Amino acid sequence: MWFALMESSRSALSSILAHGFRSFLTTLGIVIGVASVISVVSLTEGLSASIGQQIQSLGTNNLTVRSYTPLEDRMKGISARLSNDDLDLIESRVEGIASITPILFAHRASQVKSGSNTAFSQIFGTTYAYQDVEQLYAKKGRFIARSDSLTRRRVCVIGETVRTNLSLPEDPIGEYVEVAGEWFKIIGLLDSKGKMLGFDQDDLVILPYKTMQSLMGNQRRSDIQIQLTVADQAEMENVRERIRTLLRAEHGLKAGDADDFRIQTAEQLSETFNNIINTVTVVVGGIVSISLLVGGIGIMNIMLVSVTERTREIGICKAIGAKRHHILMQFLVEALLLSLIGGLIGLGLGYGLGALIAMSIPSFPPISIPLWAVVMALGFSGLVGIVFGILPAAKAANLDPIDALRYE
């Protein structure tokens, strides 16, 4: 059996090389299909790995609490909010919190000016605890202090992108910028954190929390975000459930009512993005895999032509003692080799195409091809060869040797 398999492989390779250009055109569908699948998978896997690393860098013991309003309620003008009372409740009633800070975003004005230069940045107010929660510290100057918030000082801390966009000096401490029509003194320049999910983490202006409240005006209608770190990661779920129970009671929600807030961890955020990426990968992979089907049909057509061309050869083989399974194996191995060769070529092209696309997109992470994708691509190629090679191989094996020898 082993000898028959080796002879079938040798004969198949000889036939493929003898009709090189025809063999290439035959496998073109397989090549395109595998290359498309591998390039898509490599790009999405690289993106997924990069997103996972960036999200984990936010801290595995971080919790973010934000308000949530369903679309139908927003259409009715109903808006859920988190208030300072919610912050005080969590801070005083929940044990196991290492650091907690409110964040109040500027919803109206995101314009920052310095002289004749203008930039649009993310502006928000927070407390001194923000640097501990986000692990974000000043590389020049200092971060916002508790006294800055209590006295509503007009000071701010900026990111590197803001400094660049406003053409400020490398050490901008002591410079003034205009925010919401008022002048703020720069007291700190933050360490650069780069981009995450396309969002520039250095394009931000941080004000003292109570200073931001005074700029926003109506504090009762303000909606804050609460970020905190849990002292013991093992207690993460307990802290989360305690916060949920307190907020539901504070907001007067009854049993069966949906939460009007969301409590999110870095792990949940990572899972959400991975689910989205995996769905995109499956959908796009399924679409481009149609070309594998087209390639399989091409292989079957060429193998049927090959059977017709080699009818006399088949008759001679049978006349000198070749069994039905020998002929079946010979043509089936040839179809399998055609598919696998196309799969290997497609694998190389897919990797190169994915790498080329990744390099052409600024800040795109390096591609990554998981082992399962390689095995799936080659396995599916081989399966296509077997499935679409069975009919021509069976036709060849079933030829009557007398009729085959008489074939012109």
Which of residues 38 and 151 earns the better pLDDT score?
151
The secondary structure of 17-32, three-state, reads: HHCHHHHHHHHHHHHH
Query: How many Å apart are CA 71 and CA 283, to the nearest integer?
Result: 27
- Amino acid identity for residue 242 in this structure: R
Average pLDDT over residues 34-47: 80
Which of residues 252 and 318 earns the better pLDDT score?
252
Residue 270 binned pLDDT confidence (cut-offs 50, 70, 90): low
The whole-chain average pLDDT of the chain stands at 79
Q: Which DSSP state fits 170?
A: S
The predicted pLDDT at position 126 comes to 93
Q: What is the pLDDT of residues 281-315, one digit of tens each?
A: 777 767 666 766 777 777 777 767 666 666 666 66
Residues of the chain with pLDDT > 90: what percent? 18
Instruction: Tell me whether strands 176-179 and 111-114 are parallel, antiparallel or unpaired.
Output: antiparallel
Which of residues 295 and 84 earns the better pLDDT score?
84
Residue 61 binned pLDDT confidence (cut-offs 50, 70, 90): confident
Contact 104, 224 (CB under 8 A): yes
Residue 327 binned pLDDT confidence (cut-offs 50, 70, 90): low
Task: Kindly report the pTM of this predicted structure.
Answer: 0.63
Question: Worst-scoring range by mean pLDDT, 64-78, 306-320, 342-356?
Answer: 306-320
Judged against a pLDDT cut of 90, whether residue 339 lies above it is answered with: no
Query: How many Å apart are CA 204 and CA 110, to the nearest integer?
Result: 10
Judged against a pLDDT cut of 90, whether residue 273 lies above it is answered with: no
